[in-house]
Amino acid sequence: MDKKELYREAKAAMVNAYAPYSNFTVGAALLTKSGRVFTGVNVENASFGATICAERTACVKAVSEGHKDFAAIAIASSRGGAPMCGICRQFLSEFAPDLKVITGDDEDHLIVTELTELLPDNFRL
């Protein structure tokens, strides 16, 4: 699966985002090293702090089904590219500090970075 395909999966997932408070919908597609894709969306809550981001939704789905080796994540949002919030950077670095992060306004203008660049000094126990 190439970066465009993964981004398309993230974008397609966005339709299920639940974002009545921000109206900012996000879709994520997390690729495992074995080639499986887990998608996720942001799920907001009237108690705003209870909101979960698309990236963590995808990660929690994957880990719950026994997948913890991740190669890449693609992120799409209703405003185009989304750089991934700090909580999600830390959350994903638990499993894949060298994760590739793909985002952009459309599939022909994708930006690929690494989580090590986005979060150079992750917290570990």
Beta carbon nearer to ligand DUR, 84 or 96: 84
59 has binding-site annotation: no
Contact with ligand DUR (CB under 6 A): which of 32, 51, 78, 122?
51
* Per-residue b or e along 81-106, where b marks 16 or more CB atoms closer than 10 Å to that residue's CB: bbebeeebbebbbebbeebbbbbbee
**Residue of 10, 26, 37, 74 interacting with ligand DUR (CB under 6 A):** 26
Contacts of ligand DUR in 106-125 (CB under 6 A): none
d(CA 31, CA 36): 6
Residue with tokens 């979060």: 119
**43 with 18: CB under 8 angstroms?**
yes
The answer to whether 82 contacts ligand DUR (rule: CB under 6 A) is: yes
Question: Which residues in the 1-20 window bind ligand DUR by CB under 6 A?
Answer: 19
Catalytic residue numbers?
Answer: 55
